[in-house]
Amino acid sequence: MVSMKTKQATAWNQILKMVSNKVDKHTFECFFEGIELDEVTDNQVTLVVPSSLAKQFFSHSVDASNTLKDAISNVYGHDYQNISYLTPDEAKLLRNHSELKKVTSYGEPQTNSHFFSNCKINPNYTFDNFVVGDCNRDAVRASLLIANSPGVAYNPLFIYSKSGLGKTHLLHSIANFYLEKHPKAKVLYITSDAFIDEFVKYVKGSQESQSLKDYFSDVDLLLVDDIQFLSDKTKTAEMFFYIFSQLFNNGHQIVLTSDRHPKDLKGLEERLVSRFYMGLSVNMQSPDTDTLLEILKRKIVSRGLDLKKFDPEGLIFIAEKFSHNVRELEGALNRLLFSLSSNENKYVSLDEVKATFSYLQGIESNDKKNLSEDDVIDEVARYYHLNSEIIKSKNRKAQVALARRIAMYLCRYLLQSSLKTIGKVFSRDHSTVITAVSKVEKELKTNTLMLKAVSDIKKSLKAA
Ligand code: ADP
Ligand code: MG
């Protein structure tokens, strides 16, 4: 008598063989080979895939999951439309708690717990789709270092920036990167709000807070978003302090984010704040136009849209208008795509973009005062004791190149000249102009000499 198990194993071998004839060798070895058949019922097949990455792969690739469906249906002679993919951890968990079977999904905390059920790791936030520029390079480097070897170099890592600049994205990237290499690790992403909620539930539920502490004790990597919300929550902060110290003392990595530097976190005990200092604190700034433009392009491509359908000047217009906050930039893209949704194949011209954001015109500064590009160049030349013609030439001396960049910047921001016009005046192409303007923009954040030059030249121009 052939056992049920043996029958199932034979069937699975047949299925894998069929699949191997349909997909390339590399994909087969990476994603299909290690799959185990967990359960076959009348209308559902449950598979255990080797890692959370493989689970992501099957959840997102319609082709891959159809190939499996076809092979399974073929071998079992029954049309299976419903396939569940579990990571080995999830499978183990579900074996112990079969009543939870229906609720697993990628990104759930990897231990069975009623804690933090709303805090999931978002598989769409990865290092691969995070655009790196001067504004965030330090934070990305530190995050990558941590994701590669947590608990070794900087503990805790503290990332701070204004809202909408990618802190949450980076935390999830660290989690995804680490989990890809260590699918069995216990990685926990939580917001400090969720921590407060969980703590309050505990206090109200008159349960011992011990199990909340226990829950954290075997976390390999703890990612806590928006820690500033712990301010003035003395009891919760005390609990957090305990958990933090426990993990820290055991060499487990903690990454925290906040909208401000630790020293500006008010309403938190000194002993906690001083712990935040012990590792590394990195700041992120608003991106320059170049970086914003790249982010915008990536977001367009990630939505399956063709970049060629967008006028580059239109994209630059958006990047410049929504320059403070990447979240706002994405909002602007959504708005644009919504206004175009009736005609997806249309070319999106600069005029189209301007029309969509026409409501912004009223709040634009009106510094123009009938100045021309040549007026700006003349004034910059006067300031730097140069000849106007040399500024427009190809001369590469440092002082001339600096004056040229500042002139381009002023044409762009003071006169709001189009890139085409500036390009023509300086005999340069689009991308050279945008790079020059971005460079000035970047330097103005730290270079006080340049800031003074720009403001003096502006003053003289207005007096002219
Ligand atoms: P924060 O947590 O700092 O408020 P988020 O991480 O929520 O910011 O980022 C807001 C949005 O902007 C997210 O959709 C994120 O993907 C996107 N974003 C921010 N910075 C970048 C970047 N450098 N590259 C790609 N996307 C980014
Ligand atoms: Mg955030």
Pocket test for ligand 1, best of 169, 229, 257, 296 (most atoms within 8 A of CB): 169
Atom number of ligand 1 nearest to Cα 287: 23
Confirm whether pTM is higher than 0.85: no
The answer on 206 and 164 residing in a single domain is yes
Residue whose CA is closest, atom 11 of ligand 1? 327
d(CA 157, CA 141): 11
Judgement on whether residues 379 and 325 belong to the same structural domain of the protein: no
Q: Is 40 among the domain residues?
A: yes
Range of the domain at 418: 367-463
Q: Give the CATH number for residue 376.
A: 1.10.1750.10
Same domain, 267 and 154: yes
Structural domain includes residue 123: no
pLDDT at 209: 59
Q: How confident is the model over 61-91, as pLDDT tens digits?
A: 777 888 888 888 888 887 777 788 887 877 7
Task: Say how many domains are in the chain.
Answer: 4
* Per-residue pLDDT tens over the stretch 346-368: 889 998 898 888 776 543 444 45
- CB-CB contact of 184 with 87 (8 Å): no
In a domain, 114, yes or no: no
In a domain, 249, yes or no: yes
Is the pLDDT at 463 greater than 70, yes or no? no
Same domain, 67 and 144: no
Give the gyration radius of the chain's Cα atoms. 28
Contact 441, 289 (CB under 8 A): yes
Are 300 and 277 within one domain?
no
Residue 445 pLDDT greater than 80, yes or no: no
pLDDT, tens digit, 9 for 90 and up, residues 3-33:
667 778 888 888 899 988 887 776 787 778 8
Expressed in angstroms and rounded, the spacing between residue 131 Cα and the centre of ligand 1 is 9
Task: Pick the ligand that lies closest to the CA of residue 124.
Answer: 1
Question: Could you count the other beta carbons within 10 Å of the beta carbon of residue 150?
Answer: 24
Nearest CA to ligand 1 atom 6: 166
On whether residue 128 sits in a domain, the answer given is no
* Domain shared by 316 and 394, yes or no: no
Ligand 1, CB within 6 Å, residue ranges: 130-131, 136, 161, 163-169, 295, 326-327, 330
Residue whose Cα lies nearest atom 16 of ligand 1: it is 169
| 337 close to 303: Cβ distance less than 8 angstroms | yes
- In angstroms, what is the span from residue 140 Cα to ligand 1's centroid? 12
Inside any domain, residue 329: yes
User: Comparing 47-51, 233-237, 340-344, 432-436, which segment has the lowest mean pLDDT?
Assistant: 340-344
**Inter-residue contact 83 to 69 (CB < 8 Å):** yes
Ligand 2 centre to CA of 163 (Å) is 7
> d(Cα 333, Cα 370) in Å, to the nearest integer?
32
- Secondary structure of the chain in HEC code, one letter for each residue: CCCHHHHHHHHHHHHHHHHHCCCCHHHHHHHHCCCEEEEECCCCEEEECCCHHHHHHHHHCHHHHHHHHHHHHHHHCCCCCCEEEECHHHHHHHHHCHHHHHHCCCCCCCCCCCCCCCCCCCCCCCCCCCCCCCCCHHHHHHHHHHHHCCCCCCCCEEEEECCCCCHHHHHHHHHHHHHHHCCCCCEEEEEHHHHHHHHHHHHHCCCCCHHHHHHHHCCCEEEEECHHHHCCCHHHHHHHHHHHHHHHHCCCEEEEEECCCHHHCCCCCHHHHHHHHCCEEEEECCCCHHHHHHHHHHHHHHCCCCHHHECHHHHHHHHHHCCCCHHHHHHHHHHHHHHHCCCCCCCECHHHHHHHCHHHHHHCCCCCCCCCHHHHHHHHHHHCCCCHHHHHCCCCCHHHHHHHHHHHHHHHHCCCCCHHHHHHHHCCCHHHHHHHHHHHHHHCCCCHHHHHHHHHHHHHHHHC
Is residue 166's pLDDT more than 90?
yes
Poorest-pLDDT segment among 54-58, 207-211, 253-257, 284-288: 207-211
For ligand 1, the distance from its centroid to the CA atom of residue 70, given in whole angstroms, is 39
The verdict on residue 116 lying in a domain is no
The average pLDDT across 301-305 equals 86
pLDDT surpassing 50 at residue 198: yes
Number of neighbours of residue 252 by Cβ within 10 angstroms? 20
The ligand 1 atom at the shortest distance from the C-alpha of residue 163 is 4
Q: Ligand 1 centre and the CA of 228: distance in Å?
A: 18
Specify the CATH number for the domain of residue 210.
Answer: 3.40.50.300
Give the other-Cβ count within 10 Å of 13's Cβ. 12
Instruction: Tell me how far apart the alpha carbons of residues 163 and 365 are, in angstroms, rounded to a whole number.
Output: 24
Instruction: Choose the final residue of a domain: 361, 381, 401.
Output: 361
Pocket of ligand 1, candidates 171, 225, 327: which has the most ligand atoms within 8 Å of its Cβ, to mutate? 327
pLDDT band at 386 (very low <50, low <70, confident <90, very high): very high
Residues 194 and 304 in one domain: no
* Together in a domain, 374 and 345: no
Q: Which of 316, 336, 361 is the last residue of a domain?
A: 361
Measured on CA atoms in the order 354, 356, 362, 365, is the torsion positive or negative?
negative
Which residue do the tokens 């199990």 mark?
211
pLDDT band for position 189 (50/70/90)? Answer: very high
